[in-house]
Amino acid sequence: MKLQKTVNRLQKLHPKEIDLSLDRIKKLCKRLGNPQDKIKAISIVGTNGKYSTIQAMFAILKEANIKCNIYTSPHIKNINERFVFNNHELNNDELESLFEEIENANNNEPVTFFEILTAAYFLKASQYSDNINLIETGLFHRFDATNILKTNLANIVTSIGLDHLDWLPENEKTVEKIIYEKTSTLLNSNIIVAKQSSEEIIESIKKTISNNNSNKSFHNEDYSFAMKENDFFYYEDQLGGIKLPMPNVKGQFQLENISTAIATLRTLKDLNIKDEHIQKGITKINSIARLEEIKSGKLKELVKKHQLFVDGSHNPLGAKVLNEYLESLNCNKHIIIGMMANKDHNEYMSYFKDISSLTTIDIPNQPNSIKGIELKEKLNNFINIKYKESIYEAIRSIPVKDNDIILITGSLYLAGEVLNLN
């Protein structure tokens, strides 16, 4: 309760949730002794796959007995998820104490909540200067609060697509503009570029970073992976190949993220990552709300023997890779969907083929979400579509048969509500 009161107070320090500028975060971190200058970081930018790539690296680094600090956003179930130090989330008392220290240093000046969180992360991370920091960039990168590092070990560019267009000028709502925002200010170190959805996007990334003197590594040029029979896949880069077991996470897109994680860690030769660290690590990845199967709990009891998945994808690129996984399954698929109001709802759903039923719902506790009944009206081209007010009602209303699966998707905020309910 005390932590929540502090969070509520900090959220009122600026009239906007997001205000793209680096001035406030630089000023605050200067008061804290510029802790961001005392850490070893890997920066992760992109539209999709950032969290999954981070979790793959984390699992491999743990196998190599290398301690990590991790900064991600948004959180799914609780704010503590954003603050991992020495391989562990901060508890409520630790986080409350950290926030109070930042609040005192800020001295009630205007600052966004994300800037407060970022300054708090940098300060705590500086206390573990030997650890590897895995830092996810927020909305865009160029004016994101995380973009005040002077040096880093590497930059990862995950898959880039159209998202957060409401933050761009009307005449600049293009993937080229997003690529520029995400990659034009990458630090000179190493740049590892993940698989992209088109050759045009790859070429645009190459053009934007052409004057960056980093060592550059591109999927399918400098590293690659291939599916093999007998339940394994093969990773290969300039250092050689590795036969790998299938990971404990589902979907082809996860193999892409894992391969990017491997390419990054093998690029950083001083880490001394061995093949066995990779082979064991990728079977222990903890990926919350990324095509996560719910195997027990209150919601699982409702579906009984049927499979229940939750996935936080919320943009067209995420829908595309999610549908690729669904199409690999020989069963009926039932989708429950809730989305934020500023998303392209029809574009998102256009990627899903062969859906047995679609149920729209309200996202609890999210005033910026679209009402489920409005979403149903927007998606009226789907024949078997209905609206239910709650997650429980939606699950109960689905006429599942043997081997059917239920997928709840459309928003990370919805995914958090699902996991907390369960």
Q: Whole-model pTM?
A: 0.94
Do 219 and 328 reside in the same domain of the chain?
no
Nearest-angstrom CA–CA distance, 283 and 419: 22
54 and 143 in a single domain? The answer is: yes
Same domain, 303 and 411: yes
- The tokens for 79 are 């704010």
95 and 133 both lie in a single domain: yes
Q: Residue 286 falls within a domain, yes or no? A: no
**CA of 329: how far to CAs of 175, 225, 333, in Å?**
31, 22, 9
Residues 265 and 337 in one domain: no
The whole-number pLDDT of residue 195 equals 96
In a domain, 287, yes or no: no
Domain boundary among 260, 281, 302: 281
Residues 346 and 231 in one domain: no
For residues 275-281, give the mean pLDDT: 98
Q: Does the pLDDT of residue 252 top 90, yes or no? A: no
Domain's final residue, options 231, 252, 281: 281
Residue 170 has pLDDT above 80, yes or no: no
Domain stops at, among 220, 248, 281: 281
Query: What pLDDT is recorded for position 230?
Result: 75
| DSSP one-letter string for 152-188 | -SEEEE-B--S--GGGS-GGG-SHHHHHHHHHTT--S
Q: Are residues 123 and 94 in the same domain?
A: yes
Q: Which domain holds residue 224?
A: 2-281
Residue that the structure tokens 């050759």 belong to = 199
222 and 312 share one domain? no
Question: What pLDDT shows up at residue 167?
Answer: 62
How far are the Cα atoms of 26, 80, 109 from residue 121, in angstroms, in the given order? 14, 11, 19
The percent of residues in the chain predicted with pLDDT above 70, rounded, is 98
Do 308 and 413 share a structural domain? yes
Q: Are residues 195 and 215 in the same domain?
A: yes
Query: What pLDDT band is residue 166 in, cutting at 50, 70 and 90?
Result: low
pLDDT computed for residue 18 by the predictor: 72
* Count of the separate structural domains present in the chain: 2
Asked if 211 and 133 sit in the same domain, the reply is yes
CATH number of the CATH domain containing 242: 3.40.1190.10
In a domain, 106, yes or no: yes
Residue 71 lies in a domain: yes
Overall size of the chain counted in residues: 422
Digit-coded pLDDT (tens) for 58-95: 999 999 999 999 999 999 999 999 999 999 999 999 99
C-alpha–C-alpha distance, residues 63 and 276, integer Å: 8
Same domain (yes/no): 96, 177: yes
Mean pLDDT of the 361-373 span: 94
Query: Residue 303: enclosing H or E segment and its boundaries?
Result: helix 298-303
